[in-house]
Structure 1
Amino acid sequence: MFVRSIALILLLFIHDAFCHNNKNILRGIQSSLLSMYIPSKPFTCLDGTISIPFEFVNDDYCDCRDGSDEPGTSACPNGQFFCENKGYVGITIPSHFVGDGVCDCCDGSDEYENEIICNNTCFELAKKTNEERERRRLLHEQGVAKKNEMIAKAGSIRIERKNRLEELEEQLKRLETDLNEKEELKRQAEEPETAHKDKHQKAWEEERAIRELARRDEQMQDMFNDLDTNQDKLVSIKELQVHTELDNDKENDFTDEEVKTILGADSVTLDEFNSTVFEQISNSYQKITQSVTNEQVSTTESNKATPEPSTEEDHGISDEEKREHSVDDDAHDKNDMDDNLDDIDTKDDIDQPTSLDHTKHVHDDTAPDFDDETKKFIQIADQARNDFKDAEKKVRDVKKEIEDLQKRAEMNLGEHDEFSIMYDQCYDYEEREYTYRVCMFKSAVQIPKGGGSEVTIGYWESWGSEPNKYSVMKYTNGVSCWNGPSRSLTIHLRCGIENRAIDVREPTKCEYAMIFETPAVCDENIGAKLSHQDTHTEF
């Protein structure tokens, strides 16, 4: 019994000594802050509010408002625990993660009070981190080499562009001089051409006037003869009165007074008709259409009404068959009468003259072809005009090329013109439903794979903002979405050894985001930093 009591006392002594030693171990403190935790001195909270005896540090009770007295326990809700993670990267975690049964530190130091065993994974993490760091270093190293090639090509492009601009400006001077000469030759060639054309046109107009006058006289004579039904060389009121189409007042009869107003007298001679009447009635006048005579209609009706006598062949035919024959005969007679009427109407239509306007239209003449001399001048002028147009096109094309080169020269294509070789180049990204195509510094479109028209999702606007402005490209003012904003595209550039789009998303309606890899954004400083980076650097 005594031995057991001694053993128990010894065990309690060892436990107290162990706990005392554990308590004195400073846990969860960054090396840069160790000078603030001196066991021989009172501890001052890191926010400077109060000082406490050092034995209050890590006693599992929160004395400081900022939780700095409990770096190694979970007592303070706002406390921070530092994982040293030897061989890897030290990190800071919320102190309430300490002792929660989950290994948050790769060295397992956050679970020092628990029986749980945390495997030290710092070496494996360090290995992976170093591999990733090396991969990124090589990527930037290779990318920077390609970027330097792009910058060198940009320099060549600038020189070529400068030389080309100088060449085009000299060429433009020569072309403008040639254009002025061609314009003068055209003017000289068009003068005799115009004179001969005007002469030809004047002669034709005079000839046509004579023809029109003769045609008018002929029509006037025909109209007078048609109206002079009694052939007494006069057109009287009664002769004109039958032409009711000349009556302006359609509601009443064509009275003697109305006819006399047109004639100006009871009757007119040919000369009087020509000078006073013809122009009044020429556009409305029509010959009287010959109608079907009463005799013709009566004869047709009589033939239709009178039955033919029965013959011997009718004997033995049933009433029903007779009725069928009767219907057929009636239809045949009706068709015969319609044919007669059609013949009469057709003849009348052929003989019936139309109004003067229509007659003029029918008899309008086409101007005769130009004579050989005029054709020769036209041919010379055409050649001069063609030469001028060709010279004008050359000037226009050169001006357009100069404008494009100047616009490109003024465009911001990177700090060292590294994006110069990408200017106007197009790159595609394929996904399930669409092909996205971006043409650098121009526009971006969305092309449906199932057919249909492409949709512009933005036009080049600008780079991003500082400090990394050349890592973002903005395309705006695309086609408006239905019930939404205008489409836009933001391109996020990241280092790569070739120019390619690797992803497109639509995080917000009608606002697209693309990830684009290019050597143009690879940074030699990042490569150098990665190659010398200390594996213990705290993130």
Structure 2
Amino acid sequence: MQLPLLLLALGLALARGDAIRGLNPDLASHYTGAGATFSCISGVAKTIPFARVNDDYCDCADGSDEPGTSACHNGRFYCRNLGHEPRLLAAAFVDDGVCDCCDGADEAKGTCKNTCLQASAVHKEALKLKITQFEEALSSKAEYISKARTFKADLHAKSGSIENDVAWQQSEVTRLKAEVDLLAQEDAARRAEEDAQRAAEQAIAEQAAQQQPGEELATEEHVAVADDQQELGDAGSHEQRELQEEGEQALPDEREETAEERGRRIASQWTNDPDAAATPASQDGVDGEEQQEALEEEGEPETAGDYSHQHRQQEGEYDHGEWQEPAPEAAATAAHRRREAPPETSEWEDLMLFVSVFKTWASRWLTTLSKLWSEGIRADVLEHRQRKKQLNMERMIQEGVREKNSRAAAAAQRNGRRPPQAHKAHVPSAAETGTPLGAAKAALLEAENVLKQLEKDKQDIQTYLYGNLDFGPDDIFLAFADQCFSSIQTRWTYEICFFKDATQREGYTNTVTVGRWRGFSPDYKQILYGGGEDCWNVGPRTMTVSMSCGLEEQLSDGEEPGTCAYQSKFTSPALCDDSEVTALRRQLQNLEAFELEVQALIAKDEL
């Protein structure tokens, strides 16, 4: 029905346009020519002959008598732009040599080429793109409605058992914490014992590595000294046997002492005359030579006289300043004693003695420390290690949370949203869960996550099921629960959170609450926040957010038009309506329907 009427209006406009150039079809009723006169449309009432319309002279103050010329400064030229969008052009641009209308009607005929079909094609593509975008927005709106319904249904399903579920999960977390603590203590004790054992083994190995070269040399020295002592002992034993044999041979001679010899000996003792007990010279000479040869064979550095002097001092053979001949047995015993005298110790023997003493001392200290560790400070050290490990773990988790928050804040700054506040703790890797303690920690972490989700579900049930909140038509705005959106201005950042608060922030500090959730306007075109922080001499702050259809959720144009009264704009597919898409589709259909008609009219007009 509308298409025939539009074609009829177009035909009438074209017919009238043949007589009156630049005429706006909406004003065609004033240009009927009845009575062969024309009355000025506005301003001072004036009637002129109809023949003076478009005579390139301005008769009416409103310029209505010259719609197709540039005679009146306030005149308006109507571009038909067949096949495209019509437009009104200032009269000053008429016949100026520049083609302003796509159909060239503003210039002399034949000056401009008709480009309306090309412009129409571009416009048609823009319409198609806009329709596609609105269809996507409507699809997102349908998803929001479905998500809201699913969310509410899930809360209803959980509401019956949420209390019991939370209580049971809390007991499970408590049990797993106790299990983790027990396994952690056992693991810490085992690690401490292994560390102590490794430390002791390492200390012994390092000590052995440091002492090994000295011990090898000392061992070789000991072997050499032992060999020398054995050789000397064998030689001494051999000489001792010889002396014993000589003594045994001499003893019978002494037992066979004659009466004369006995008399001389006794006489020499009473008279103190050594010559009295002297033996024949030949015998004494023989005995002296044999004794001297024996001393030389033994390798003694002393002379016979020196030996006799020393031996006499040891045996007390000086009797009142007189010398007495030592007995053969005494001489043999003294020589044997001197041969068996221990040699002086070497530097290596001193070193080995020091090493032996040090090893004994170190062993005693290690034993003492081990006993002190096992009986005294072991529990304190294990407790300190466990506490330090927990602090390190907490610090690592906090650093990870801060890093994640910084990344989320950067992403939120780019898309205008606040980063989510829920964070997951570190999930143990496969290597960590390979031990009983790691598996217990993984189970505890999972149980804690389940408990957090149950507690959140419990809070959501109280807020979104029994909180007496309005979520809009079909609960569509429930899809924005726990979501916040930001608008970054030159100085201030405005942020709104659905069903919560609205804030004004300078950077990431100095946050001011400009309002708390008050609900929607009756037509669901505005969000109302009130009861914010007090403003001096005004009262509580307020904020109003105007909502409209948009391709995505976006908060924009945060401002303060009144003292402590803030405004902003919010677009979302949730605000889109089918009527807008319907109007765009109708416009596209009409444009496509005109293409053939316009082509025929353009061909006729060019003739």
Give TM class, smaller chain: 0.3 to 0.5
TM-score normalised to the size of structure 1?
0.42
TM-score normalised to the size of structure 2?
0.38
Rg bigger for which structure?
Answer: 2
